[in-house]
Amino acid sequence: MADELLRVENLNKAYGDQPVLHDINFEVNTGEVLVLLGPSGSGKSTLIRCLNGLEPYQSGDIYFKGDHVTPSSKNWQKLRQKIGMVFQSYDLFPNLKIMDNITLGPIKVQKQAKNVAEKEALALLDSVDLADYAQKYPRELSGGQKQRIAIVRALALHPEFMLFDEVTASLDPEMVRGVLEIMLDLAKQKMTMIVVTHEMNFAHQIANQVLFLEEGRILESTPGAQFFTDPKTDRAKEFLQSMDF
């Protein structure tokens, strides 16, 4: 277990009296891709948001590289530099040019020199074929382009792992592919990722491990190859059938 990156133990969360996550336990090793699947409302997004402190949890423990994470806002703020997160609605900053969107974190949070940060941002932009857009504002870009920029913005901080929360859910179908290809590329480069998605083919391609959730519980944790051909639970079979997979 030398390469364990993230471990979650007995995580519980409720909104008021309404429990949303029950006794969640799992771990992710460096270089692995963990995919969270389940019907909507099963708690996938809530869980992934707990992993970088955007959602508070009532009990349980998160360990990052073996160290216990103290859930204080100061501590989370420090940790978030090591955790890249991409959201469903991309959320670039509309008041900043693409270049400044990407370099805001590296320059202001990590105190990198401006020219170093910009040089790297350009290289990253080039890798997603958007180098020409550096001096444009987000409103001038399509949804798919914005989402690619959002991934670049997260990567610019050199995160140790990435969280993807339904990043293609609000994109036009023809935009989805470009975004998914970037994620497959990242997986090839052994980036550790936790992915919430409804794209089953993509999940099948990318997942080392699948967590199947329903009503805030993990119903099964199965290696990716097996989950899509021979899931352990009947509920997961039903789910896969309903997804037309």
Partner 1 sequence: MAHSGINIIFEGANFARLMGGLWVTIRVALISIAIGGVLGILLGVLRTFHNRLLRFVLRLYLEFFRIIPTVALLFLFYYILPKDMHLNLPAEEVAVIVFTLWMAAEASDIVRGALESVPQHQIESGLAIGLSRNQLYRFVLVPQSIKLMMPALINLVTRIIKTTSLLLMISVLDVINVGQQIIEANQQQYPQGAFWIYGAIFFLYFIICYPFSLLAKRLQRNK
Q: Site residues (CB under 8 A) for partner 1? A: 52-54, 77-78, 80-81, 83-85, 87, 89, 91-96, 104-105, 108-110, 150, 153-154, 157
CB of residue 131 to partner 1, shortest distance in Å: 21
CB of residue 80 to partner 1, shortest distance in Å: 4
Q: Give dist(CA 36, CA 207) in Å, integer.
A: 9
Nearer to partner 1, 87 or 227 (CB): 87
- Secondary element (H or E) of residue 66: none
**Beta carbons within 8 Å of 131's beta carbon, 6+ residues apart:** 122, 125
Nearer to partner 1, 83 or 207 (CB): 83
Q: Give the start-end residues of each E strand in the chain.
A: 4-15, 18-29, 33-37, 59-64, 67-68, 83-86, 161-165, 192-196, 209-214, 217-223
Edge-to-edge strands, sheet with 67-68: 18-29, 4-15, 59-64, 67-68
Q: Give dist(CA 187, CA 193) in Å, integer.
A: 8
Q: How many helices (H) and strands (E) does the chain have?
A: 9, 10
CB of residue 221 to partner 1, shortest distance in Å: 26
CB of residue 18 to partner 1, shortest distance in Å: 20
Q: Give dist(CA 203, CA 18) in Å, integer.
A: 29
Structural tokens at position 32: 């692995």
Nearer to partner 1, 158 or 237 (CB): 158
CB of residue 95 to partner 1, shortest distance in Å: 4
Nearer to partner 1, 89 or 221 (CB): 89
Nearer to partner 1, 90 or 228 (CB): 90
